[in-house]
Amino acid sequence: MAVLVLDFDGTMTDAEQEGAAFVAGYLDDLCTLVGRPLGDPQVQQIAATTAQAITDRPGDFPFLWMGRAVAPATVDPYLRMVPIAHAIFDHFGVFRDATDRGRLLGAILYKYNYAKTSPHFRAGAGELLAALATQKHPVWIVTNSDTEAVAKKVELLSHQFPAVAALASRVRGFARKFDIDDNWQGVPAELTLPGLARPVLLRRHTYFDILANLLEAEGATFADLVVVGDIFELDLAMPLTAGARVGLVHSTHTPGYERAFVEQHPRAKLLSGLHEVLPYAFG
């Protein structure tokens, strides 16, 4: 029997809408840190130029974790803010020490401004989760985010779509999809995508173990698994290599090379909206 695993942030939610307050607050803080007034045109200009470069050349702006490229930075506003902040600090010549900068951007500014975000669901999220909660196939939500935070978002949707409440206990958080374990041999080390100069790293051991445990509990294998997410490199590349079918819910920020790879792969599908998820998974 098919088992469906959904990513949550950016897949069930609209990351651009959710992140708007994060981006505005973060840019205000950067103005203060470089000694410019709030809304400074020069800071705004650097932010806009860098954001455009990320959109134009997504392969050149990876999200780095432990010094390794593990996802494109273009796909959500939280990841895009890191190269923007570096460009602003570089321009004004401040916080030159990499450790100080990493601590400031990754811990302080990220957490402080993330707290300003509020849930915005993608069109059809409530309808999809309600339909999934009331059919026979097992469904799980596997996310890098905090389990409780995502369960709360699911509960929020259940106010309008009561059936969705049943899925609040089907969230597996802290999946660490960005963690690469070179010593684990469970899948090949990398995948090459035409149009992307760097390899896609596949040995996402923690994420694999979470999926393998869910499948074992359902008496299923990777051949029964369907994974739906919004970032091919982060959510889908490893499960696809392990034998799953995958669906990429794309947006205007999805890199062209991810879109093209998914379109030509026999076990992958580009999904233009959440209404396509259920027919693809169980149809």
Q: Which residue is nearest to Mg ion (CB)?
A: 10
Q: What is the DSSP letter of 121?
A: B
Contact (CB, 8 A) for 71 and 12: no
Residues 6+ apart with CB under 8 A from 112: 25, 29
Nearer to Mg ion, 9 or 40 (CB): 9
CB 250 to Mg ion: min, Å:
12
Nearer to Mg ion, 8 or 89 (CB): 8
- By CB under 5 A, how many residues form the interface with Mg ion? 4
Among 4, 5, 6, 9, binds Mg ion (CB under 5 A): 9
Sole residue written with tokens 């205000």: 28
Among 3, 7, 70, 226, binds Mg ion (CB under 5 A): 7
Per CB under 5 A, the segment of 7-15, 47-55, 125-133, 252-260 that binds Mg ion is 7-15
Separation of alpha carbons 144 and 230, rounded Å:
13
Per CB under 5 A, the segment of 3-11, 19-27, 100-108, 215-223 that binds Mg ion is 3-11
Separation of alpha carbons 221 and 213, rounded Å:
10
Which stretches of 115-204 are DSSP H helices?
Answer: 125-133, 147-158
> Cα Rg for the chain, rounded, in angstroms?
19
Residues 130-189 that bind Mg ion (CB under 5 A): none
Helices and strands, counts by H and E, the chain: 11, 10
Residues 216-235 that bind Mg ion (CB under 5 A): 230
Among 5, 6, 10, 125, binds Mg ion (CB under 5 A): 10
In the complex, which residues of this chain contact Mg ion (CB under 5 A)?
Answer: 7, 9-10, 230
